[in-house]
Amino acid sequence: MPTQKPKDQTKSATVIALLNRGKGASIDEICKATKWQKHSTRAFLTGLRKKGLIIIREQRGNEGTVYRVTETPNGKTQQAAS
């Protein structure tokens, strides 16, 4: 019986994990993790918003703009993960 190798983590899951971190993620961090261009990354964030995720944008001094998920589609608040 052939064994199936585990599926690698998707780029979508990678982005959501970055956004769920307590400090969030910048466009540059997401681009680096996914190898997407900036316009593709922003379009993906828009798609997540359309699916019901509450994504906030914050200006953080030298870090620039970061994005974080604050709620899930079912309305439950995300717990900050460091």
- pLDDT value of position 64: 86
The values of phi and psi at residue 11, to 5°, are: -65, -35
Q: Is 1 domain-assigned?
A: no
Q: Is 26 domain-assigned?
A: yes
- pLDDT value of position 9: 85
CATH number for the domain spanning 49: value is 1.10.10.10
Contact, 29 vs 19, CB < 8 A? no
Q: Is 76 domain-assigned?
A: no
Q: Tens of pLDDT along 6-62?
A: 566 899 999 999 999 989 999 999 999 999 999 999 999 999 999 999 999 999 888
Task: Tell me the whole-structure pTM to 2 decimals.
Answer: 0.74
The residue segments making up the domain with residue 60 are 11-71
Find the angle CA(41)-CA(82)-CA(59) to the nearest 5 degrees: 50
Q: Is 3 domain-assigned?
A: no
Whether the pLDDT of residue 80 is over 50: the answer is: no
Burial zone of 33 (CB within 10 Å; 0-12 exposed, 13-18 middle, 19+ buried): middle
Where do runs of H (alpha helix) occur along the chain? Answer: 11-20, 27-34, 38-50
Q: Is 82 domain-assigned?
A: no
Q: Is 81 domain-assigned?
A: no
Domains contained in the chain, number:
1
